[in-house]
Amino acid sequence: MNLSKGELNGHTFLAKLITQYAHIHKKSIGPAAERYIEQLGLRTGEWIERFYEDDSLDWTIDQYVHLIVDLKNSIGGHFEIVSVYPDHVIVRAKECPFGEFVKDAPHLCKMTSSVFGGIAARKFGYGKVSLRQRIALGSPTCEVAVYFQPDEREQGDIYQDIPVTPENGDPFSWEEETISMLNNELQKCDDMVESLLRELEELKRGNS
């Protein structure tokens, strides 16, 4: 994707930076990258919920679907509601918050799945997210279905029994086990970079 100077802004810069980091991360640690993105999405979703809290004890399906569309559009996506049913909703996007850059790191779609599914699980006890179409994989749009109870009509990522941070707590306070896992993953990234630097040095010496 080529950008003109006028199209370069903070959003496109961050989108490119994040997708390239995610791409390198996935290459260095493999499938574990998706689990990391999932955990980050679950915590981010809980943090985002706080911007939409009101005095009502019970959320409605309408409140939920408007929340997930609004949050995506607030960060640069172009989402709209397609259908709302008592047991599931369908939303569609003409543009991803990461733009065309998401094609460099399709596993970032796990962020959408875990944010949508985590919020559904915390509000309704269960969430299954089906990423029916994905811009990241070449589709012209994204289409996402979120179910609020077990359903066999289509496959998806299932979220339930999601822990909720105590009142006034911080959802980004990572447990020691999670921190250790992330440290191990970062070490693998560092080892890969060091290996590449050694190869470059060897190439330089061989050509001198």
Question: Do residues 160 and 181 both lie within one domain?
Answer: no
Question: Do residues 151 and 186 both lie within one domain?
Answer: no
* Res 169 pLDDT > 70: no
The tokens for 187 are: 């070490």
The 8-class DSSP code of residue 156 comes to -
**Backbone φ/ψ region at 107: left (φ over 0), alpha (ψ -120 to 50), beta:** alpha
Question: Do residues 159 and 102 both lie within one domain?
Answer: yes
User: 40 burial class (0-12, 13-18, 19+ CB within 10 angstroms)?
Assistant: middle
**Nearest partner of 29 among 186, 174, 198, judged by Cα:** 186
Question: Do residues 186 and 139 both lie within one domain?
Answer: no
Question: Do residues 44 and 81 both lie within one domain?
Answer: yes
Bigger pLDDT: 55 vs 30: 30
* Res 18 pLDDT > 90: no
Question: Do residues 182 and 93 both lie within one domain?
Answer: no
Question: Do residues 105 and 195 both lie within one domain?
Answer: no
Burial 144-163 (b: 16+ CB within 10 A, else e): bbbbbeeeeeeebbebeebe
The 8-class DSSP code of residue 58 comes to S
Of 146, 164, 182, the domain-final residue: 164
95-134 pLDDT, tens digit per residue, is 888 888 888 888 888 889 999 999 999 999 999 999 999 9
Question: Do residues 95 and 187 both lie within one domain?
Answer: no
Matching residue, tokens 């706080």: 50
Determine the structural domain holding residue 178 and report its residue range.
173-208
Bigger pLDDT: 119 vs 181: 119
Q: How many domains does the chain have?
A: 2
Over pLDDT 90: what percentage of the chain?
36
Q: Contact, 107 vs 33, CB < 8 A?
A: yes
Residue 43: give its domain's CATH number.
Answer: 3.30.1380.20
Question: Do residues 117 and 192 both lie within one domain?
Answer: no
Question: Do residues 182 and 145 both lie within one domain?
Answer: no
State the pLDDT at residue 29: 66
Question: Do residues 158 and 207 both lie within one domain?
Answer: no
Average pLDDT over residues 158-186: 68
